[in-house]
Structure 1
Amino acid sequence: MMQISESELKYLRLLSESYGTIGEASTEIINLMAIQNLPKGTEHFISDIHGEYESFLHILKNASGVIKLKIDETFADSATPEERRTFATLIYYPEEKLELIKKSGIDLHAFYRKTLYRLITLLGIVTVKYTRSYVRKQIPKEYAYIIEELLYGATEAQGKADYKDSIIESIIEINVADDFITKMAELIRRISVYKLHILGDIFDRGPGGDIVLDALMKHHSVDIQWGNHDILWMGAAAGNRACIANVIRICTRYDNLHTLEVGYGISIRPLVIFAMDTYGDDPCPNFKPIVSSKDALYASDFNSLAKVSKAIAIIQFKLEGQLIEKHPYYEMDALRLLHKVDYKNATVEIDGRTYELNNKYFPTIDPDDPYRLTEAEEAVMNRLRAAFLESEVLQKHVQFLFAKGSIYKCSNNNLMFHGCVPMEEDGSFTMVKTSGGEASGKAWFDYAERIVRQGYFGEEGSRQKERGVDFFWYLWCGYKSPLFGKKKITTFERCFIEDESTWVEEKNPYYKLSEQEEIVDKIAEEFGLPREDSHIINGHMPVSKGKNPVRANGRTFVIDGGFAKAYQKKTGVAGYSLIYNSYGFILTAHEPFESAEIAVQEERDILSTTVAKQNITTRILNKSTDTGMEMQDKIDSLKKLLVAYRSGLIKQRA
């Protein structure tokens, strides 16, 4: 007979409150064992969105091409390619597409019948790996009975057909077909992806990081591994002034003030006034905004943004210099360059070499105390800091990033993070100085996350909170930050030095080493994953044209393919998506997306090309996943509860 310890008995008594009889416990065991033997759900990995919300939202709608693939497989013999394309567009954008279809003059009754049958058929295909209980929870409440009956209704062949036909005719007759189609399309999109993983850099470059976050907050199952651009905004929301300065400089650099001013209600008016007063006669040559040819900015707008960008950049360099001096264990003295500038001759010394500056106008810098903000700069930063702290939408988004996010995540033998595991050339994990000693590998990741959580949630005025708020900036651009992965950020050099050799940001050895299987094994073991059967998935470094995003014989996936338009010349694509379903991994590369309007009117999907496919010999079932193992733990406990009931150790509650 199975032995039950006293400590187990205490737990089983708690469990009996949920499963009070032998029948209830047995039913749950049977249910869990059935779920374990279903194919695993589809996981979707996306990285480096950089505010390109239209492309991102479309990829969410088409599940990186998975929905179109299911449509083509299901209706290959019963629908033309044009009909399948229209059907796919209808699922992505049901309300917009229905409006166009109704204006086209087609036989609406026939269209509704055919479309409703196809939607039910497709829903049956995408729900085949889920239990009825799970599907029921996803179905919109107002149509729960109807959809369940259409999916699982009458059993006799002819009776079932007649039964379904009568339901569909009723839907059309009472004029709810449009709403029903919209809800069905949403349901298919929802069920097509079981879990969404975002591997960092939601913000910056593109115009809608806030819009992306609004969409993620509505998603049924998402986790986020923070990127360095995310941590920058999180630090700004926590009140770190160096992070705030960086956020504003990047927004002005990429003409993305819409996110700040409209998305988050943060006015930079104090900075604009200061910049125009201080740099009114300065052409600011290397601070002109980077915009696409479609963005029609007046010359005066370019000039004004350039002055604002320079004003905040100078403030940024001062604030960063203060932080580096305050925290010597950051080991970032190479970033402190203002005291190395010869302001009389307009030169700067870097690594023993002297470079000429392309701009000689520094009215706010005191050469004897170059990192001190002027009174006007202090006033501007105080106003801006208050605006970030008081933005309700920004604070709501950052709290969501903390609730759903982390620096790394291990799931189903996949190690996910944005940047890198800091390593030395010999393959050892870099030892990093911290306020509490040294850390490396997983311990360094865990320490970094703990410190920034203290920075945001810590007690006001406490030493822990102050240290954590400062640390956000280190994670943004620190030499050994797991989110940055470069030896040095060269913002000053790009702004003031024409010699592009000074702009080089040397990558951490991890990026070369992770092409070796033995290094992947070492990293996996460090994070508690099995050697050989695990994968690393990360973004951050755009994969250049001609380079393979799949490395180490399929063990490493680098999926930053250039969502941001600024990177697409380098990458040649407009982003990668990784799909992990019960048959293995599929990596797809996406072509640039024009607009949702064109997608609806011209039925243009994002062209997604399979870059790599990693098939397996045996289909992956839920029991082989993390969720399946958790289910097994519960099954084992419920079996012990049955023993306790049958032996009288615990009384049934009936």
Structure 2
Amino acid sequence: MDQNYLNLLKEKYPTPEAVYTELINLEAIQNLPKGTELYVSDVHGASEAFDHILRTGAGNVREKLENHFEDTWTIEEKDWFNLLISYPEYALEHPHFTEIKTAEWYGKTIIDLIEFMRFCAVKYTRSKLRKALPEKYTYIIEELLYTDLNQREKDLYYKNILTKLIALDQAESFIRSLSNVIQRLVIDHLHLVGDIFDRSSGENLVMDQLIHHHSVDIQWGNHDLLWMGARFGSKVNLITLLRIAARYGYLFELEKIYGLNLRPLFLHAEENYQINTAFKPKCSEDSTLLKEESEELLTKAHHALAVIQFKLEEQLIKRRPEFKMSKRLILESIDPETHEVEIEGERWKLTDFPYTQLDLEQPDRLSQKEEHIVSTLLESFQRSEKIKEYVQFLLEKGSMYLVYNNHLLFHGCIPLDDQGQFISVELEGQSVSGKDMLGAYDYYVRKASRALDTSDDFATDLMWYAWAGDRSPLFGRNKMTTFERYYIENSETHSEKRNPYFDLRDNQNVVRDILEAFGLKSSQSRIINGHTPVEVKKGESPVKADGQLIVIDGGMNEAYRNATGIAGYSLLNNSYGFQIVTHQLFKSVSELFRQGKDETTLKHMIDGKLGRTVIRETTIGHTIQKQIDLLLEVVQHIQVDESQE
């Protein structure tokens, strides 16, 4: 052990007794059941649905109510109590509760909440529980939690506290606080397996929740890297995310939230583009309809952004021949006289292409106005304090993959060939595949973050390749056919072939090989994936390879719901094993209270594991064990020092 570090530990624990106390505490923690983990992916700005999942613990609050109160409460009582805990502010103003709010009801409700909190906190030490308590009520909550009501004097003491809370008009505030603590206790740790951004506005609300979450990690998705790359200087990433915002009708929201300067874009679009229905925004069914003039402006801006994006993409493809994407140099294959384009040896008719916006001698060249638009947008995007805060958080809490509690988490795929072998990609002369490929991407993301004033270095360009490259572990398709979908009616050209990984991940041998490549050889290890919506309507299951791989993208965002038929999957992992969670469409809080229940459903999965998992067996437990080993070494040194005195 380093002598300086040893001296610091000896200062903190100057006597063997001090070390023994800490050792006993750590050993006790090691034998507690592991906390419940929640896995969520592909939020895509669906802030209300995401908030609902966190408030309800993805149905875990309701299940714990079922386990704790069992037959002593009716199903209806448990349903309403679940809504009270999940939405205390709304519940306390709802007629179901306002009609019964009396001093007696307040007292009983607080007792029930305290009792249920005690049940939810059974896995936690007192010190960890204390960190979850609101400062203004910590003392009162602890007194109520640890009071022995079998003693008459304590029973009177307990009732006196409740009476005073009610008399001082603190009962509702106290109920809200208890409910918020329970929400926190039912989920010990949150894993967000990629794609916070795009498809709808609301990513800022999701990010704000994540930043204030008590324990979270993130595995970056392709949409996350799109935003991160834009922050790090990638012009094409920025224009792409803005095009997506225009496509889904929330570009104006981004302008307001992040202070983007869209005026040059709007002026250019108004002057140079006509209405093309292919670029009409796809607004949410639940959103307020755009005014006609706003929709027209957004349609034109959408088209202008697409053209700028295609130009920037082709500049990058030429700049990076090592990406081997020359087949996607489409603009230079356009024939303005025949209104055709040649793609991979075949010619196709173009529909309403804006030929006047191309320099026919150099099609990928931005006009002077377009250059000004891009530079203005990039400057305002990088200057945004919110963007800076969000991306810094993604760097601190995020990574390309994570091995946690003997499970492997990554968003997209491990690129494979048809035989299930890892395929490689060359990055600055180094051939990488499998685990090394994901590690290399992680390295380059962090490298790009240190050079915000450059837009065409390799690290920043790779963050676009992660979005659209045929061997990208975050894209997982042979090409991105955005151009074809806008301008070619024949759907044959719209096809994007998935990497073999997505078909082979139902093969147990392939999944086992991937796990072993990441050092995971336990039969209990799992791969947790997002990225591809599970097509429930077609009978697809989120559980692959006999339970060795689980896909949790079930379509939380409305944009995917036609394919999935549900509103997303999430995954719970408690000390007994995994539970797959199916989420139904979240309409509104008022709709939940109209129904009087939450219809989230949990499906138990059999892991084949006997007994409960304790903290000693977890990633955190391994860290604690290292602390224990160090403290044992400290004891030896202290004893040696004492013997020499």
- State the match for 1:351 in structure 2: 344
What CA deviation, in whole Å up to 9, does each residue of 1:327-356 have, x standing for no partner? 111111222200111111111111211111
Matched, 1:644 2:637: yes
- State the match for 1:483 in structure 2: 474
What CA deviation, in whole Å up to 9, does each residue of 1:90-111 have, x standing for no partner? 1111122212359834342122
The whole-number CA distance in structure 1 between the counterparts of 2:293 and 2:450 is 42
- State the match for 1:424 in structure 2: 417
The whole-number CA distance in structure 1 between the counterparts of 2:608 and 2:61 is 19
Counterpart of 2:355 in 1: which secondary structure?
coil
Query: What pairs up with 1:569-608 in 2 under 5 angstroms?
Result: 569-600=562-593, 602-608=595-601
What CA deviation, in whole Å up to 9, does each residue of 1:253-311 have, x standing for no partner? 000124412222223221111111001xx331311111233442344433322211111
Q: Point out the more displaced range, 110-119 or 526-535.
A: 526-535
Which of 498, 501, 517 aligns to 2:489? It is: 498
Query: What pairs up with 1:182-197 in 2 under 5 angstroms?
Result: 182-197=176-191
Which one-letter code corresponds to 2:496 in the other structure? E
- State the match for 1:3 in structure 2: none
Which of 242, 247, 250 aligns to 2:241? It is: 247
Counterpart of 2:457 in 1: which secondary structure?
helix
In the TM superposition, residue 382 of structure 1 has moved relative to its aligned partner by 1.2
Q: Point out the more displaced range, 255-264 or 543-552.
A: 255-264
Matched, 1:151 2:145: yes
The whole-number CA distance in structure 2 between the counterparts of 1:431 and 1:293 is 42
- State the match for 1:38 in structure 2: 32
The whole-number CA distance in structure 1 between the counterparts of 2:12 and 2:592 is 49
Matched, 1:212 2:193: no
Matched, 1:286 2:278: yes
Which one-letter code corresponds to 2:188 in the other structure? Y
Query: What pairs up with 1:126-525 in 2 under 5 angstroms?
Result: 126-154=120-148, 156-279=150-273, 282-295=274-287, 296-458=289-451, 460=453, 466-525=457-516
Which one-letter code corresponds to 1:92 in the other structure? S
In the TM superposition, residue 394 of structure 1 has moved relative to its aligned partner by 1.2
In the TM superposition, residue 598 of structure 1 has moved relative to its aligned partner by 2.9
Matched, 1:112 2:106: yes
In the TM superposition, residue 611 of structure 1 has moved relative to its aligned partner by 7.1
The whole-number CA distance in structure 1 between the counterparts of 2:39 and 2:97 is 38
Counterpart of 1:457 in 2: which secondary structure?
coil
In the TM superposition, residue 615 of structure 1 has moved relative to its aligned partner by 6.0
In the TM superposition, residue 83 of structure 1 has moved relative to its aligned partner by 2.5
The whole-number CA distance in structure 2 between the counterparts of 1:319 and 1:332 is 14
The whole-number CA distance in structure 2 between the counterparts of 1:614 and 1:118 is 33
Query: What pairs up with 1:1-20 in 2 under 5 angstroms?
Result: 7=1, 11-20=5-14
Task: Report the CA distance shift for 1:103/1:163 in structure 2 as closer, same or farther (over 3 A).
Answer: closer
CA RMSD of aligned residues (A): 2.0
The whole-number CA distance in structure 1 between the counterparts of 2:247 and 2:444 is 30
Which one-letter code corresponds to 1:242 in the other structure? V
Which of 541, 548, 554 aligns to 2:532? It is: 541
The whole-number CA distance in structure 2 between the counterparts of 1:589 and 1:84 is 20
CA contact (8 A) 1:586 1:614 kept: no
Which one-letter code corresponds to 2:285 in the other structure? S
In the TM superposition, residue 606 of structure 1 has moved relative to its aligned partner by 4.4
CA contact (8 A) 2:248 2:284 kept: no
In the TM superposition, residue 531 of structure 1 has moved relative to its aligned partner by 4.5
- State the match for 1:532 in structure 2: 523
Alignment identity in percent? 40
Which one-letter code corresponds to 1:289 in the other structure? P
- State the match for 1:4 in structure 2: none
What CA deviation, in whole Å up to 9, does each residue of 1:449-469 have, x standing for no partner? 1112111123756x9x83222
In the TM superposition, residue 651 of structure 1 has moved relative to its aligned partner by 8.7
Which one-letter code corresponds to 2:282 in the other structure? I
Q: Point out the more displaced range, 465-474 or 568-577.
A: 465-474
Q: Point out the more displaced range, 256-265 or 434-443.
A: 256-265
The whole-number CA distance in structure 2 between the counterparts of 1:459 and 1:260 is 21
CA contact (8 A) 1:232 1:476 kept: yes
Which one-letter code corresponds to 2:162 in the other structure? I
Query: What pairs up with 1:1-80 in 2 under 5 angstroms?
Result: 7=1, 11-80=5-74
In the TM superposition, residue 155 of structure 1 has moved relative to its aligned partner by 6.8
Which one-letter code corresponds to 1:182 in the other structure? R
CA contact (8 A) 1:93 1:600 kept: no
In the TM superposition, residue 113 of structure 1 has moved relative to its aligned partner by 0.9
Which one-letter code corresponds to 2:234 in the other structure? N
Query: What pairs up with 1:76-95 in 2 under 5 angstroms?
Result: 76-95=70-89
The whole-number CA distance in structure 2 between the counterparts of 1:307 and 1:650 is 83
Counterpart of 1:501 in 2: which secondary structure?
helix
In the TM superposition, residue 11 of structure 1 has moved relative to its aligned partner by 4.3
CA contact (8 A) 1:419 1:483 kept: yes
In the TM superposition, residue 637 of structure 1 has moved relative to its aligned partner by 1.9
Query: What pairs up with 1:554-569 in 2 under 5 angstroms?
Result: 554-569=547-562
The whole-number CA distance in structure 1 between the counterparts of 2:522 and 2:313 is 40
Which one-letter code corresponds to 2:467 in the other structure? W
CA contact (8 A) 2:39 2:191 kept: yes
In the TM superposition, residue 162 of structure 1 has moved relative to its aligned partner by 3.0
The whole-number CA distance in structure 1 between the counterparts of 2:67 and 2:611 is 21
CA contact (8 A) 2:43 2:556 kept: yes
Counterpart of 2:58 in 1: which secondary structure?
helix
The whole-number CA distance in structure 2 between the counterparts of 1:154 and 1:584 is 33
Counterpart of 2:486 in 1: which secondary structure?
helix
Task: Report the CA distance shift for 1:341/1:650 in structure 2 as closer, same or farther (over 3 A).
Answer: farther
Which one-letter code corresponds to 1:166 in the other structure? N
What CA deviation, in whole Å up to 9, does each residue of 1:107-137 have, x standing for no partner? 4212201110110011011100111121112
Counterpart of 1:588 in 2: which secondary structure?
strand
Report the TM-score when normalising by structure 2.
0.96
The whole-number CA distance in structure 2 between the counterparts of 1:73 and 1:454 is 49
Which one-letter code corresponds to 1:409 in the other structure? L
Q: Point out the more displaced range, 11-20 or 569-578.
A: 11-20
What CA deviation, in whole Å up to 9, does each residue of 1:126-164 have, x standing for no partner? 100111121112111211111111111247444443332
Counterpart of 1:354 in 2: which secondary structure?
strand
Matched, 1:631 2:624: yes
CA contact (8 A) 1:537 1:558 kept: yes
Which one-letter code corresponds to 1:270 in the other structure? P
The whole-number CA distance in structure 2 between the counterparts of 1:412 and 1:105 is 47
Report the TM-score when normalising by structure 1.
0.94
The whole-number CA distance in structure 2 between the counterparts of 1:371 and 1:589 is 46
The whole-number CA distance in structure 2 between the counterparts of 1:98 and 1:158 is 32
The whole-number CA distance in structure 2 between the counterparts of 1:328 and 1:354 is 24
The whole-number CA distance in structure 2 between the counterparts of 1:293 and 1:172 is 44
Task: Report the CA distance shift for 1:225/1:598 in structure 2 as closer, same or farther (over 3 A).
Answer: same
In the TM superposition, residue 238 of structure 1 has moved relative to its aligned partner by 1.7
Q: Point out the more displaced range, 325-334 or 552-561.
A: 325-334
In the TM superposition, residue 422 of structure 1 has moved relative to its aligned partner by 1.1
In the TM superposition, residue 601 of structure 1 has moved relative to its aligned partner by 5.5
Unaligned runs of 5+ in 2: none
The whole-number CA distance in structure 2 between the counterparts of 1:116 and 1:385 is 52
Unaligned runs of 5+ in 1: 1-6
Task: Report the CA distance shift for 1:368/1:150 in structure 2 as closer, same or farther (over 3 A).
Answer: same
Task: Report the CA distance shift for 1:550/1:107 in structure 2 as closer, same or farther (over 3 A).
Answer: closer
In the TM superposition, residue 75 of structure 1 has moved relative to its aligned partner by 2.4
Q: Point out the more displaced range, 469-478 or 392-401.
A: 469-478
In the TM superposition, residue 608 of structure 1 has moved relative to its aligned partner by 2.6
